[in-house]
Amino acid sequence: MKDPAKFMSEAKAGVVTVEFRKIDTDELRVMPCTLNSESAGREITIKDFDPNSHHFVVWCLDKDAWRSFRVSTVERWYTGYPEENKDG
């Protein structure tokens, strides 16, 4: 993952989407998530961020639950909700 500190900053500010490979199936997961209480629609308590961590825990907006992912499995991330499929 490029720039994990920026990812955390953007997640604290609003919605980010992370695309990563699931460990057990290698399936690509596109996950809108946040660490922002207003974006989550609930109070979010954030623990100290370790930029060297191998796991990130975020509030998953499409599952309405806490989820985690391994930094090493991230293919890309971006600010905002998932991009529409441009291939039609």
The reported pLDDT for the residue numbered 46 is 82
Phi-psi region of 19 (alpha: psi -120 to 50; beta: other; left: phi over 0): beta
The reported pLDDT for the residue numbered 52 is 76
Per-domain boundaries in the chain? 4-78
Percent of the chain predicted with pLDDT > 70:
94
Distance from C-alpha of 77 to C-alpha of 16, rounded to nearest angstrom: 7
- 76: its two tokens: 């890309």
Residue linked to tokens 């599952």: 63
- Contact in structure between 5 and 74 (CB atoms under 8 Å): no
Q: pLDDT of 5-19, one tens digit each?
A: 899 999 999 999 999
- The total of other beta-carbon atoms located within 10 Å of residue 47's CB is 6
The reported pLDDT for the residue numbered 85 is 54
